[in-house]
Amino acid sequence: MIALIVVVTAVAAAAVLAGAGRTVRIVPQARAYVVERLGSCSRTLDAGLNTVVPFIDRVRARIDLREQVVSFPPQPVITEDNLVVRIDKTRPRNQLTCIGG
């Protein structure tokens, strides 16, 4: 009987620790995580320490917010003093926000 109580207590403690481990999410700098709650977009986690509800919230997408270079050939641009300069463009990526939910 005592062995059964010890086993049940150990299983319950393991379940509590697993749930506590899934509660805290650390989001690295220059990243954002999109959270779904029960299948619909709930919110966006910014960089830093965040909490989610275990087994209900799920991190669905991990987004890199750094600038990314668009791959196409340089384009000539005329400046104010009539010099022709070839430039590459960068595309800043904005953070996703969830609408509704």
Query: Is 84 contained in some domain?
Result: yes
Torsion sign over Cα 37, 39, 42, 46: positive
- In this predicted model, what pLDDT tens digit does every residue of 43-101 receive, in sequence order? 889 899 999 988 888 888 888 888 766 667 788 989 999 999 988 766 655 556 665 54
Domain count, the chain: 1
DSSP string over 4-56: HHHHHHHHHHHHHHHHHHTTEEEEPTTEEEEEEETTEEEEEE-SEEEE--TTT
- In this predicted model, what pLDDT tens digit does every residue of 21-38 receive, in sequence order? 778 889 999 898 999 998
Query: Is 16 contained in some domain?
Result: no
What does the pLDDT read at residue 98?
Answer: 64
Query: Is 1 contained in some domain?
Result: no
- Residue 88 lies in domain: 24-101
